[in-house]
Every structure is written in structure tokens, then in C-alpha cells.
Amino acid sequence: MSELNPGQVRYQYRHAIGGFFEFPTENARKLIPSFMSPVEPHHGQSVLSVMAFDFSGSSVGEYGELVLSVPVAPRIARGQPMPRAAFFPFLVGTTTKASREHAIKLWHLPHFMDDIQIEFEVGAREITVAAAHGGTKILDMRITDYEWEPVEHYYQAFEHDATGTYMATMAMNAQFSENEEERGSIEIYPHAFTAGLNPDGVNGTPFRELWMRDGRQTFDPLETIGPGGA
């Protein structure tokens, strides 16, 4: 395993799964700052990214995490690796208070402020995640596999709050499977966690599914790229 450079932060995970679902751009624009542009696979339709992590190692122990994001245009810099995608996370949920406080302090991520429950069930060719809060369902998602290969992918994540506009750059090293076979699914339930979404507008079948296992997520130091604001 490579050594960390000064300021880098690393997380180990058993599984990281994601589904990419079309939903109305009108909804997407309500979830991101006005100066950012959502990615549109089709005119009037943007992308809802739903990611779930089963973290096995970090400075705050093991925990689960659920991230709702809107993919946005990346920032390209000369001499820097090309990001595979860029995201604006608009809500994050975790299973422990320590992990929540860690991410708020370090990455300025907006969080659901109660612990949630996240359960993974691994099958032969699929993995499901069930997220709930106090016994009330948040969402259920099923992701299927395809071919597996070792990868190192680079991603960007943006955040904006009263203190500034920030960018996090991360490397994902893992066994990786991705497909566009439209075999996965999502069910979104009425809950405060999903209140920003119109569930009738979210396509219940992902146009892209990804599954990473036995991997690590390495963050470079957070960059301030602009001022804060409402």
C-alpha cells in the first residue's frame, strides 16, 4: 500500500456501490448552487447519484455512509489527472456520530444529523443496500455486477457553505465493476432524508451501475476555490 503524502486522508472499504438515475433538471438545480451546472445525459434530464459505502477502516473506525449527489462539470487543470466524474453531494448520512463530525469538520459535507442504519446484502452477482432511520425506510437499492478489474480512478467533489466553496480530489483504488445493463433498481421512500427529491421524477432503473470492493479512498487536502454564501 502506498504511503500517504502530507495532508492526505485515507479510508478503507469493503464495498462502495453506486447507481446513476435520470431525474428532472428542474429538481437538480434546486439541490446545487446556482453557479454550478448539472450534467444532462438528455435535455431536461440530469443525474441523481446514489452511493453507499461500507467503510472498514478510518481514523474514526468502521461505519456506513449514504451519499446523494448531483454530477456536475469537473475542473480541469494542466498536469493534473483527468477526473472520471465530479459531484456535488447535497446530503450525506452516516451510521455513527464520530464519522459525521469528522466529515463535517474536514470536508464541509452537509449531513443528516441523526445516525441512520445501512445494511448491505451481498449475492453471487448483485449487492443490495437498505437505508433506514429509526425503523423508517429511506431507500433500497440493488446493484449488479459485470466484469471485474483493478482500477485507480480519480474523482472530484464540490461543497459550498457560508465559509467558502471547496473542492476535494480523491483516488479510488479497488476491484471495480461497471455496467449499463439496466438490471439494478432503486425504491425511494418518503422521509426527511429524501425530501429534496420528487420520487415520481426519479427513474427507478439506473442507466449506470458501479461496484467497488476491497478498496481504498484517498483524499488530497481540501482546496478552497471560491467564496461562501447562502
At 148, is the secondary structure helix, strand, or coil?
A: coil
Nearest 10 degrees: Cα torsion 165, 38, 66, 158: -20
Second-level CATH architecture of 9-226: Beta Barrel (2.40)
**What pLDDT is stored for residue 1 in this prediction?**
52
| CA atoms lying within 13 Å on the CB side of residue 97 | 0
**What pLDDT is stored for residue 197 in this prediction?**
98
Cell of 68: 446523494
Q: Which residue has the cell 478552497?
A: 224
Pairing between strand 85-94 and 149-161?
A: parallel
Express each pLDDT in 16-42 by its tens digit: 999 999 999 999 999 999 999 999 999
Measured at the CA of 20, the angle between CA 80 and CA 58, to 5 degrees, comes to 60
- Residue ranges per domain, the chain? 9-226
**What pLDDT is stored for residue 81 in this prediction?**
82
**What pLDDT is stored for residue 72 in this prediction?**
98
Q: Can you list the residues of the chain whose pLDDT is less than 70?
A: 1-2
**What pLDDT is stored for residue 230 in this prediction?**
74
Express each pLDDT in 94-111 by its tens digit: 999 999 999 999 999 999
